[in-house]
Each structure stands twice: as structure tokens, then as C-alpha cells.
Chain A
Amino acid sequence: MDPLTLPLWLRATHLINFLLIGIALRSGWEIIASLPRFWWRGDCKPGTEWVRFTRRELPKEEGVYTSLMDEKRLSPIVGLPGRKNVGLGRHFHGLGVSLWIINGIVYVVLLFTTGMWRRIVPTSWDIFPNAWDSLLVYLSFRTPSIEHFMPYDALQQLGYFAIIFIVAPVMILTGIAMAPAVRSRFPWYVKLWGGHQGARSIHFIGMALLTIFIVVHVVLVFTVYPEHNVTRMVFGEVDTARFAQALTTMIATIVLVLAFWIALSYAALANRPLAQKIVVGITQPIRRALAHLKPRMSRQSSYTDEDISEFHWTNGLPPTEDESVEWLEMRERDFSDWRLTVRDSMNDREVELSLEDLRKLPRASYVAVHTCMQGWSATSRWTGVRLSDVLDVLGPRPEGARYVMATSYGLAQSMYGNRPREPFYACLDLAMVGEEDTILAFERNGEALEDHLGAPARLRVESNHGYKMVKWLARLEWIEDYKAVGDGRGGTREDSAMQAFDGRI
């Protein structure tokens, strides 16, 4: 094979990679903007971040500031989709990255089956001194001679190898580590990366390296022997006579891809529910597959009381007088008259349970890492009773009941379209309800649950992100379907922030 040619499959996967990497990066920036700080320590204690992209200071005190206050608005030209839409950003990230991985697998398989891996994978230690020499040439604002490019020079080859075989796999592995479904089943794996924040920080560093690589790569394509690079990338071989044609084709393609990226943002913002429905629909099989992973809590020992966090962020603040006078009055009485309504809406039956009633049920207690979809985390010992045991008090699951709806005394922080707020709610499917570590917690770290973390009782659904874990719990209800509740997406954050009903990723 001519060492200078680029076969069609390589050019095609490269173009697809360009399209998808933009979706992955821009949606990644949207996610970062929802909490533009990075930590190595697991509790994200204010003031301990190692890098941040916001001037906003954080209060040192716990429970006086919601993490939603830290969100930054990105322009739709930069973020996907932009304008503070972390829910849609996460869905686009999942979709873009899934397709990017498939494209990457096709590329790597073809690379090895065609023998072209020799262009990328160094086979001699000489690569390092040669790459160093090449770097010195570039740093002196000169260009290595054309003979060095067969088709890549040593520095180029080393760069491609590092991105394809080190940075990209590390990003995939750290991305997986941030999924609650993976963390709750294989906590040792997350710990391997330094916990959720370690994985998040390494993922960010990978993104930064990838972004720098792309910028340098594009600049060099157009500045170092462009007539060779451009014609080879468009036509597969060096044909300097067709440089103008190749350059026009390449620039037109780049403009089209950029236009597509930005159009995707505005199209998603124009109809956010539809965008959520389409993208979540495509990525749902991945979430469904994660539901079948082995259950947690059996032989769980990766996180212990030694790992308990010093600090715990909160997303949402306790109910105030305009939200629930009832909750405030119960708090005044130490929740002695708090009652949880457990209801079967289909047969119009209900029971009321006090904290004492709950304490009589079998206890569940474990140490788990809580993650918010914004990115912060905290480790606590949660103690309470299994949700399935609480529901059993009402009797067997009513016929036709497929979901449990949990409703809070607190109101949503915001509603879709900024319409007047309603009580916060979340629905769980039967798989989530039946998980061993889906509990109704009334203690944290051996003490009564704090006001700002959901007193007197809250949901814990360890296989999911925090938005499923209703705080200041008022009611549990068996329902047939959630379509008729709220906006029909299964929860307040699903309705308002376009999160997925299934919060396992």
C-alpha cells in the first residue's frame, strides 16, 4: 500500500468523528457549565476545588445555597444546547459519545485488519527522540522536511497514538465511572479513579487535551504542507494539482458541520420536550441494560464510615412559609406529628405512617456516594427502611400499578416555562422500587436527617442520580402510569429540566 494514501474508510470515519466529537464536546461543556468547578476530594467542599470557571464564590456553610445557583448560561453557539439546559446536554452527550465510540471501534478494527495500525502505533523507541527533534523544529517556527511525513512525522504519530489509544479510552472509562448504576454496583471501580470527583476531573483533563489536540491538529493541517494534507484528506492521495478543489470541498464540509452543530442547539431549544423524547428514546436501551446489572448491597464493602464526607451540597432548600406552612409547623414540633401518606390511587386506599411506625420496620443502613446530575458528590451513611417494606404496609402491589410516585412538601425550584411552581415529585418504576438500596432514609451518619437534606424523611435511590430522591417526603402513591402527572415525563426534574425518567446514567 502506498504509505501516503488515505483509504475511503479512514476518511469516512474521520469525517464522522469530526461531526460527533463536536456534539460530545459541546454537550460536555454544557454539563461542565452546570457546575463549573473541579475537585479531587469527594465531598466538593467549597474552596477546595483545583480549578474553576466561574468568579462566583461559594458559602462555606452547608445548606444555605442550592447548587443550581452555580449554573452558568452558555450561548447555544458554544454549548449543546446552551442556555442552562444540563438535562438535554447530558442526553446529547450520551448520544454523541455512544455513536463516537461505535465509530471509534469501526476505525480501530479496520486500522488493525488493514495493517494501517503501523502508521499510528509506534514500533520503535526511536519515536521519542525523533518526536523531540520535530517539536524543536516546530518551536523554532520552521517545518520538518517533507520526507519526515510518511504519512505522519514522529511527533504527529505520537500525538495520534496518545489521543486514540490513551486519552480516548481513559475518557470512556472515566465517563462510565460517573454513572450511578455503575457506581452503585461496582464502587471499587469508581474508587480506582479516585472516586466520582477523581473520575470527573480526569475526564475533564482528557477533554482539555482532546480540545487542544484538535486545535493544534487543524492549525497544522492548514499550515504544514497544506496542499499535501488537504488533497490527501479529500481525495485519498496527494494530488497538488487539485488543491483548490480539495480546499473548497474541505472548507465547505467544515462550514456545513459547524452549521449542523449550531442548528442542533437551536432546534433542541425550540422544542425541548421533543428533543428530550427523541434523544432519550435513542439512548434508553443503554439505561435499560444497566438496570439488569447485579444488585447492590450484597457484600458491599468498598465505601465505609471512613469515607463519610465532611461536606454535603444540596440541590434545593427546605420549604419556606410560601411553600408549606404545614411542614414548618411540624418541624417546630420535631416532626412528632409528621405523617407519610402511602396511597393506592387505583383503589382509593391509603394509610398514614409516623416516624415511629417507620422505625418499627426492618432497618437498612449503608454508606453510599450521592451524585447530583450537575456533578457534585458526597458520601454518607444512610439509614432508614426499604421502600418496598414501606409499601408492603399498604398490602400487595395493586393490580396494574407500575410506578410509585413520591411527592414532597417542598415546591419545585423551577417549572417548565417558568410557570407557577408545584410540589416536587418523582416517579420510580418497579425495578427501582425493588432495588435493595432504594430506601426511605430518616437518618444520615447516625443522626436525624438534617432539614436541608430532606427532614424528616427522604428517598434514597442509589442506582440513580439525586433528582429521583425526593426530600421532605409527604406522600408515596402507587400509580398505573405517570403520563397523566405533571407534564407526563415522570418527575419534576424530568418535566422542568428534561432529565431522563431513568436516572441511572
Chain B
Amino acid sequence: MRTSAYLVGGLRTDDDVTRLCQRLADIGVAEGIGAVTVERYPAVGREPGRDVLTVKHADAVAPDLGALRKAAARAGRLTLDPLPLPLPLPPSR
């Protein structure tokens, strides 16, 4: 299992997150996605808040960015941009 991460733009409410995850689940099998999670990092000081989508998938599978973007567009006016790993860990971990 591996994780791919993306910066999500355009999310406003938790229900927007639910809708995004639903659309990604719709393409889950086709894209080899095993799990999706959105983490909403709040703004800290001058650092703006950001919403990070992590997608778990088998080692041999890389979800197609175009397909993910298409699914995100079906959930609303959302944008997805790949994020390099490792992600900065929150202090609680």
C-alpha cells in the first residue's frame, strides 16, 4: 500500500468533503483507490490553512490525476494539485 497526496482547492464545508469522497469512491475500483481521506489543516500564524487529500492505493497502481480531477469536478468547483510526500506531520502524531 502507498499513499498519494493532493492539495484540494475550493472546499468550504464538511459536506463538500463528503461529496468529494463520494465521487472519488465512484471511481475507486477503476483507479485502484483503496481509501480516501481529506485532512483540513487550519491556518497557523502566517501559514494559510490547506485541505489535503490522501489516497491509499496498491504499490503497483498510480491513480490517474486526470480521472481524480474529473471526479473532483463532479463534486463541485474543486481543484486538485499533487503534493510531494512526506507530508509535514501534525504535532499530535
Q: Which residues of A are in contact with B by a Cβ distance under 8 Å?
A: 55-59, 64-66, 68-73, 83-84, 316-318, 320-323, 411, 413-415, 417-423
Across-interface contacts of B36 in A (CB, < 8 A): 69
Contact of A418 among B19, B28, B38 (CB under 8 A): B38
- Scoring B residues 1 to 30 as 1 if CB is less than 8 Å from chain A, else 0, what string do you get? 111010000000011011100100110111
- Scoring B residues 39 to 65 as 1 if CB is less than 8 Å from chain A, else 0, what string do you get? 111100000000100101010000000
On whether the beta carbons of B34 and A64 are closer than 8 Å, the reply is: yes
On whether the beta carbons of B29 and A59 are closer than 8 Å, the reply is: yes
On whether the beta carbons of B28 and A65 are closer than 8 Å, the reply is: yes
Q: Which 4 pairs show the lowest CB-CB distances between chains A and B?
A: A420-B90, A320-B3, A66-B35, A418-B40
Across-interface contacts of A417 in B (CB, < 8 A): 14, 40
Q: Which residues of B are in contact with A by a Cβ distance under 8 Å?
A: 1-3, 5, 14-15, 17-19, 22, 25-26, 28-30, 32-42, 51, 54, 56, 58, 85-87, 90, 92-93
Q: Which of B39, B87, B90 has the most CB of A within 10 A?
A: B39
On whether the beta carbons of B37 and A414 are closer than 8 Å, the reply is: yes
Within the complex, what minimum Cβ distance (angstroms) separates B16 from chain A? 10
Contact of B39 among A59, A84, A316, A418 (CB under 8 A): A418
On whether the beta carbons of B86 and A322 are closer than 8 Å, the reply is: yes
20 extra interface residue pairs, beta carbon distance < 8 Å, beyond A64-B32, A83-B18: A55-B26, A56-B26, A59-B29, A65-B33, A69-B25, A69-B33, A71-B25, A317-B35, A317-B56, A320-B2, A320-B3, A320-B56, A322-B5, A322-B85, A418-B17, A419-B42, A420-B40, A420-B92, A421-B90, A422-B92
On whether the beta carbons of A56 and B85 are closer than 8 Å, the reply is: no
Across-interface contacts of A415 in B (CB, < 8 A): 39
- Cβ-closest chain A residue relative to B33: A69
Determine the distance from Cα of A83 to Cα of B87 in the docked complex, in whole angstroms: 29
Determine the distance from Cα of A312 to Cα of B22 in the docked complex, in whole angstroms: 23
On whether the beta carbons of B15 and A321 are closer than 8 Å, the reply is: no
- Cβ-closest chain B residue relative to A66: B35
Q: Which of A66, A69, A71, A316 has the most CB of B within 10 A?
A: A69
- Cβ-closest chain B residue relative to A412: B37
- Cβ-closest chain A residue relative to B54: A322
Determine the distance from Cα of A240 to Cα of B72 in the docked complex, in whole angstroms: 58
On whether the beta carbons of B29 and A321 are closer than 8 Å, the reply is: no
Known contacts A59-B29, A68-B35: A73-B86 contact under CB 8 Å: no
Determine the distance from Cα of A70 to Cα of B15 in the docked complex, in whole angstroms: 17
Grouping DSSP codes into helix (H, G, I), strand (E, B) and loop, the B interface class, with mixed when no group exceeds half, is mixed
A-B contact pairs, 19 of them (CB 8 A): A55-B26, A57-B29, A69-B28, A69-B33, A69-B34, A69-B36, A73-B19, A84-B18, A317-B35, A320-B2, A321-B3, A321-B86, A322-B5, A322-B54, A411-B93, A417-B14, A419-B40, A420-B40, A420-B90
Across-interface contacts of B19 in A (CB, < 8 A): 73
On whether the beta carbons of A58 and B34 are closer than 8 Å, the reply is: no
Determine the distance from Cα of A92 to Cα of B39 in the docked complex, in whole angstroms: 28
Known contacts A65-B28, A317-B56, A423-B93: A322-B87 contact under CB 8 Å: yes
On whether the beta carbons of B1 and A317 are closer than 8 Å, the reply is: yes
Across-interface contacts of A73 in B (CB, < 8 A): 18-19, 22
Across-interface contacts of B33 in A (CB, < 8 A): 65, 69
Determine the distance from Cα of A423 to Cα of B35 in the docked complex, in whole angstroms: 16
- Cβ-closest chain B residue relative to A70: B25
Determine the distance from Cα of A316 to Cα of B37 in the docked complex, in whole angstroms: 11
- Cβ-closest chain B residue relative to A57: B29
Within the complex, what minimum Cβ distance (angstroms) separates A73 from chain B? 5
- Cβ-closest chain B residue relative to A269: B15
Across-interface contacts of B14 in A (CB, < 8 A): 417-418
Determine the distance from Cα of A72 to Cα of B92 in the docked complex, in whole angstroms: 31
Across-interface contacts of A59 in B (CB, < 8 A): 29
- Cβ-closest chain B residue relative to A417: B14
On whether the beta carbons of A317 and B34 are closer than 8 Å, the reply is: yes
Across-interface contacts of B54 in A (CB, < 8 A): 322
Determine the distance from Cα of A423 to Cα of B93 in the docked complex, in whole angstroms: 7
Within the complex, what minimum Cβ distance (angstroms) separates A50 from chain B? 20
Determine the distance from Cα of A84 to Cα of B30 in the docked complex, in whole angstroms: 22
Across-interface contacts of A423 in B (CB, < 8 A): 93
- Cβ-closest chain A residue relative to B32: A64
Determine the distance from Cα of A73 to Cα of B24 in the docked complex, in whole angstroms: 13
- Cβ-closest chain A residue relative to B56: A317
Across-interface contacts of B32 in A (CB, < 8 A): 64
Determine the distance from Cα of A166 to Cα of B31 in the docked complex, in whole angstroms: 46
- Cβ-closest chain A residue relative to B19: A73
Determine the distance from Cα of A337 to Cα of B28 in the docked complex, in whole angstroms: 35
